[in-house]
A and B are shown apart, each in its own frame.
Chain A
């Protein structure tokens, strides 16, 4: 039997294409989006991609639900900013481009230290322990202001040390390319990890830990090693974050940060390798853009998360893959009309619900500024019966139409799936 037989099928062209495309996107993104805001956001996306992929090593690949992974990215940030400051003071010389690695080593060190206890148990106890460790480190951040910088955090200056080829990392674009290199290399390494014995046994531990013990593996060690590797990459992300913001506050180790990792990895899709990349992009869009757009952004985010958990537990990645399958069998065109209908009716619901949410927020927060709310250019009266009644009417109409569309779509989708199954059977026998 030839060795070629074992190679992953789309090895030759498909995989080269995907990775080249990824590199190309990282390369040209700042040329396409030239504003300084987009450069900031692109930098943050790179950082988020690394940490979300690292988080998914636990959640998607190992079945470990962590509520405290910000500890490892956060400690990476702190060690990185302290190292940066030490370099700035001339304590020792280290190229700024290597400081994210210091963050990675810090993440790894803390994962080694705290991981053995954390991975002692799987499933729910694991989640509880991560929550506990997260709270512990958060409490420590208040106890040791010298290290964690107290309220103001620790600030640094990334333009320091030797400047090879005149690269100072002062301009955002230079830092972006450093982040892009790290993002590409880390993504490639984490993908490679999924193709190694440890990566595969980690999947087995996710699926059925008991059986793994009966094929010769200590499940705790499998979890622990994966946890440490994940901590390392999270630390790198934290180190890049420290360089990017030049300030690290104790919120980087906090529960809110950990929760954001979980939420966006889940939204992106934990069951596919590329899911967390989508999640990371969404995270930055939500944190930077959505939060500018409305004060109630966390509420919208919560709603989206809720719907995703209920209707598409595989996240956006699985939605994409399911539709790609339908497309591969040439059935996607029959669904366009339904998608359009679903999208439009959903927008109607969102329009009405958004109006009500914004009016409520206005009453709670900006009441002193009068009752007038500008909502998508429409003046609403936050205490007016008409505004409320109108919004409610829009919501109910939209919801009724949406539900009709959804039912029809569910039937249509089911039919297409059975047809595809039949087609697969037919091809198998042929």
Chain B
């Protein structure tokens, strides 16, 4: 089965007990698009990410990665097929150095698997790639600092670094700027733009300024459904979206401010 889409959700559903959290989500993301997923708290944005990345198994419906069905697969299998994600709560290797964190992220994609018969120091491609990543996320001065000893913003950058390390074509970022100050956020958004050039990017984001600055397209998730998926301008003009999510004056102000 072939498909033109990098990532496609078909009538995706997920229930926890009797509560249906994702209620028939549909989405089709073309390769190379940057998509921001927005929606009110509890709309199911993070759950959607968890379903796509294999953390949860969908109750019904399909997730397709480059046309291949991936629902029900384990996270590492999905990762090997070219999808990588970051986490809302920083999820790094705290007792490994920045360099080691990144190197762990690249090992599988370079085919080293579980080998105990090669020395890490001899893996020139992995080491070069880890160094390259370290420069990209601007942590090259912190090479030997343990993950746990980094500042919060640095940890967030490392989180992104590990996510892109394996060279996956589809990147999911779950609230990458959560907990950052305004100035940190704008710097960080530029960083994300730089490191995801040419990749398909999905990001959950609350900051409307960020959303309209970063995304080619916006998907609006409300009560477990994607109620709109279009360009930022079209989404802003969408009556259903305005009613469900952007209707308030506060939201309007946020949209205006970010423009």
Which residues of A line the B interface, CB within 8 A?
A: 1, 3, 6-8, 192-193, 195-201, 203-204, 206-208, 210-218, 221-222, 225, 229
Contacts and interface: CB of A to CB of B under 8 A. Distances in A.
Interface stretch (B100-108, B178-186, B208-216): B100-108
A6 B127 contact: yes
Contacts of B95: 203, 206-207
Nearest to A197: B112
B108 A225 contact: no
Nearest to B130: A6
A9 B162 CA distance: 24
B76 A216 contact: yes
Interface stretch (B28-36, B116-124, B248-256): B116-124
Given A7-B121, A207-B94, A207-B96, A214 B53 contact: yes
Contacts of A1: 128, 131
Contact of A208 (B84, B92, B113): B92
A210 B91 contact: yes
Nearest to A224: B114
A247 to B, nearest CB: 34
A3 B108 CA distance: 21
B13 interface: no
A200 B120 contact: yes
B202 to A, nearest CB: 15
Interface string B67-97: 0000000111001100011010001111110
Contact of B107 (A6, A7, A197): A197
Given A211-B162, A213-B74, A222-B114, 16 more contacts: A1-B131, A195-B119, A197-B114, A198-B115, A200-B107, A201-B104, A203-B93, A203-B95, A207-B95, A212-B76, A215-B79, A215-B105, A215-B108, A215-B165, A216-B166, A217-B114
16 contacts: A1-B128, A1-B131, A195-B120, A198-B114, A203-B100, A204-B93, A204-B104, A207-B96, A211-B92, A212-B76, A213-B79, A214-B79, A214-B84, A216-B108, A222-B114, A225-B114
Residue among B74, B79, B112, B114 facing the most chain A CB atoms (10 A cut-off): B114
A380 B132 CA distance: 72
B80 A216 contact: yes
Given A6-B124, A198-B115, A208 B93 contact: yes
A225 B116 CA distance: 9
Nearest to B163: A214
B60 interface: no
A193 B109 CA distance: 21
Contacts of B115: 196-198
A196 B76 contact: no
Nearest to A271: B95
Interface in B4-59: 53
Size bracket of the B interface: 35 or more
- 7 tightest Cβ-Cβ pairs between the two chains A and B: A216-B108, A207-B93, A213-B75, A198-B116, A197-B112, A6-B127, A216-B79
Residue among B53, B93, B165 facing the most chain A CB atoms (10 A cut-off): B93
Contact of A197 (B85, B118, B166): B118
A213 B116 CA distance: 19
A207 B117 CA distance: 23
Contact of B104 (A8, A212, A229): A212
B162 A215 contact: yes
Residue among A8, A193, A200 facing the most chain B CB atoms (10 A cut-off): A200
A198 B104 CA distance: 10
Contacts of A212: 76, 104
Contact of B91 (A7, A211, A216): A211
A55 B119 CA distance: 22
Contacts of B116: 193, 196-199, 225, 229
Nearest to B124: A3
Nearest to A3: B124
A228 to B, nearest CB: 10
B146 to A, nearest CB: 10
B120 A197 contact: yes
Contacts of A206: 95
Nearest to A219: B76
Contacts of B121: 6-8, 195
A422 to B, nearest CB: 15
A217 B108 contact: yes
Given A196-B119, A197-B113, A208-B91, A215 B104 contact: yes
A217 B119 contact: no
A200 B109 contact: no
B134 to A, nearest CB: 12
A8 B127 CA distance: 12
B109 A216 contact: yes
Nearest to B159: A211
A7 B99 CA distance: 13
Contacts of B162: 211, 215
Nearest to B75: A213
A214 B75 contact: yes
A204 B76 CA distance: 14
